Structures are given as structure tokens and as C-alpha cells.
Amino acid sequence: MIFKWIILLAVVFLVFWLFKPFQRRQKHSADTAARAAENMVRCAYCGVHHPESESITGNGHNFCCAEHSRLYSQSRSRRE
Ligand SMILES: [Zn+2]
């Protein structure tokens, strides 16, 4: 009789254990879907991808910060 309860408890635990990551994944995919709606651009200097709204545009390239925009134009002018 007690064996039946242990199995029942194990089944309940298993259901919760299987369902928990699924819930988390659903929330995570909703977050990424909201973020994916925004266009991602690559920093021409360091290669980091970031939202277009946070990017700094210069010389026809996108940069993650003003510092990289400056460093990129410096390295370009040094090469030319
Ligand atoms: Zn960068």
C-alpha cells in the first residue's frame, strides 16, 4: 500500500520536474521574441551584436559605443 503512494509521489514529482523547464523556456522565448523584433546590428570594431537603437552609426558602419567608432576610424585612417 505504501509502495503505491511512493510511486504516486514520484509521478507527481516527475510531472512538476518536466513541466518547470518548459514554463521557463516559454517565458524565455517570449523575451527573445520581443527582443528579436528589434533589428540587431554588429559592431564593426569588436564584432559584438547589439540592438540597432543602441548602436552608434558612423562612416556607414554600426558601433556598440562611441569609443569603438573612434577607434575604428583611427585604425582605418592609419591603414590608408
Ligand atoms: Zn564594439
pLDDT tens figures, 27-36: 777 766 665 5
- Please give the full DSSP string across the chain, using - where no structure is assigned: -HHHHHHHHHHHHHHHHHHHHHHHHHHHHHHHHHHHTSPEEE-TTT--EEEGGG-EEETTEEESSHHHHHHHHHHHHHH-
33 and 47 share one domain: no
Whether the pLDDT of residue 18 is over 90: the answer is no
Q: How far is the CA of 64 from the centre of ligand 1 (A)?
A: 4
46 and 18 share one domain: no
Whether the pLDDT of residue 16 is over 90: the answer is no
55-68 per-position pLDDT tens digit: 999 889 999 999 99
How many other CB atoms are there within 10 angstroms of residue 47's CB atom?
A: 8
Q: How far is the CA of 6 from the centre of ligand 1 (A)?
A: 56
Per-residue pLDDT band at 70 (split at 50, 70, 90): very high
Q: How far is the CA of 39 from the centre of ligand 1 (A)?
A: 16
Range of the domain at 52: 39-80
Number of domains the chain is built from: 2
Whether the pLDDT of residue 39 is over 80: the answer is yes
Q: How far is the CA of 56 from the centre of ligand 1 (A)?
A: 10
44 and 73 share one domain: yes
Q: How far is the CA of 1 from the centre of ligand 1 (A)?
A: 65
